[in-house]
Amino acid sequence: MLSLPRSLARARPLVPSRHIHSQHRTTSFGFKTIPEESKESLVKHVFDSVASSYDLMNDASSLGVHRLWKDAFVSTLKPGRKGPLRCIDVAGGTGDIALRILDHARESYADRETTVDVLDINAHMLKEGFTRFKKTMYHNTPQVSFHEANAQDMPHSLFKDDSYDLYTIAFGIRNCTSIPAVLKEAHRVLKPGATFACLEFSKVNNPLFSTLYDQYSFSIIPLMGTILAGDRESYQYLVESIRKFPSQPVFAQMIREAGFATGGDRDGGAWTDLWGGIACIHTAVKL
Ligand SMILES: C[S@@+](CC[C@H](N)C(=O)[O-])C[C@H]1O[C@@H](n2cnc3c(N)ncnc32)[C@H](O)[C@@H]1O
């Protein structure tokens, strides 16, 4: 059993409810089709394996571009502009988005009251994030807290209905077994009128760019995984999982089906493409 820092709250339910219902369903794990109940442990294995090299690999595999996308994501949301926010960053990993939210609120609006609860299913990823936050001014303040929990089944006692102003999830939702279950939980914890925002890899629409991107992804990224992290398979999974994620309009429709309002089905409406759709920001409002 991994021992967590005391301030990493454990919030894992003993029996995730979907296990009761999911015995005969299948889902994707990269390009493989697997029983739904196996995905969580396989994904956990991936992030256990990559946790210590995650930030380095993110920089190497995206040539630093993930930083620009994350900056654009948080700038779009303007946390702090209308006063302090209560935020939850789900699948928050090593805390990249949480740190940006707090920095943006402080640097742009002199806001030191916005808070972020970072939630992730993986204790190793959270531990990396916790260690990283120790070097920041937010450590040991009420502005940030870390919670080990499943995005699909957040404990109601800790993550109450109608309690957050902003829900963010970056490069996390495609790793979850059930996207609708994640969206349902997002809707539950947000206040009416509050914002859901997702940054995720998406579909590249230009065929030439798509071919070049595929060649880069499937040859270079697993190779970098081997060289920098000694782990080809986990990075192969990460690339494959991107291709299995729903296209922009399909994901926008899933968001609406969870009870959110979105803009129209186009770039600049329900979503904003980044780099021709390699990544994409989806925003929505809880009705
Ligand atoms: C690619 S990382 C993204 C981390 C961070 N948001 C970022 O942008 O750098 C995906 C994260 O999703 C987490 N994750 C996967 N399934 C999850 C689930 N069901 N509930 C919560 N977190 C989950 C993983 O543990 C991992 O930390």
Rounded Cα–Cα distance for residues 89 and 163 (Å): 13
* Predicted pLDDT at 6: 39
CA atoms within 13 A of residue 25's CA, in its CB half-sphere? 12
Q: Is residue 33 predicted with pLDDT exceeding 60? A: yes
If one compares 205 and 23, the residue with the highest pLDDT of the two is 205
Decide whether any atom of ligand 1 lies within 6 Å of the 99 Cβ.
no
Q: Is residue 271 predicted with pLDDT exceeding 50? A: yes
What residue ranges define each of the domains in the chain, with the CATH number in brackets? 35-286 (3.40.50.150)
Q: What is the pLDDT of residues 234-248, one digit of tens each?
A: 889 989 999 999 999
| Contact of 36 with 177, CB cutoff 8 Å | yes
Decide whether any atom of ligand 1 lies within 6 Å of the 50 Cβ.
no
DSSP conformation letters of 187-242: HHHEEEEEEEEEEEE----SHHHHHHHHHIIIIIHHHHHHHHHS-HHHHHHHHHHH
* Predicted pLDDT at 18: 42
Q: Which of 29, 88, 121 to mutate to test the pocket of ligand 1 (most atoms within 8 A of CB)?
A: 121
pTM exceeds 0.75 for this model: yes
Decide whether any atom of ligand 1 lies within 6 Å of the 43 Cβ.
yes
Which residue's CA lies nearest to atom 27 of ligand 1?
Answer: 93
Q: How far apart are the first and last CA of the chain?
A: 41
* Predicted pLDDT at 174: 95
* Predicted pLDDT at 16: 39
Rounded Cα–Cα distance for residues 171 and 93 (Å): 10
* Predicted pLDDT at 4: 40
Q: Is residue 74 predicted with pLDDT exceeding 60? A: yes
Q: Which DSSP category does 267 fall into?
A: B
Instruction: Identify the band that residue 23 occupies on the pLDDT scale cut at 50, 70 and 90.
Output: low
Which of 2-16, 85-99, 160-174, 265-279 shows the lowest mean pLDDT across its residues?
A: 2-16
Instruction: Identify the band that residue 274 occupies on the pLDDT scale cut at 50, 70 and 90.
Output: very high
Instruction: Identify the band that residue 275 occupies on the pLDDT scale cut at 50, 70 and 90.
Output: very high
Q: How far is CA 143 from CA 113, 138, 169, in A?
A: 7, 6, 18
Q: Is residue 40 predicted with pLDDT exceeding 50? A: yes
CA of 285 to the centre of ligand 1 (A): 22
Decide whether any atom of ligand 1 lies within 6 Å of the 179 Cβ.
no
* Predicted pLDDT at 184: 98
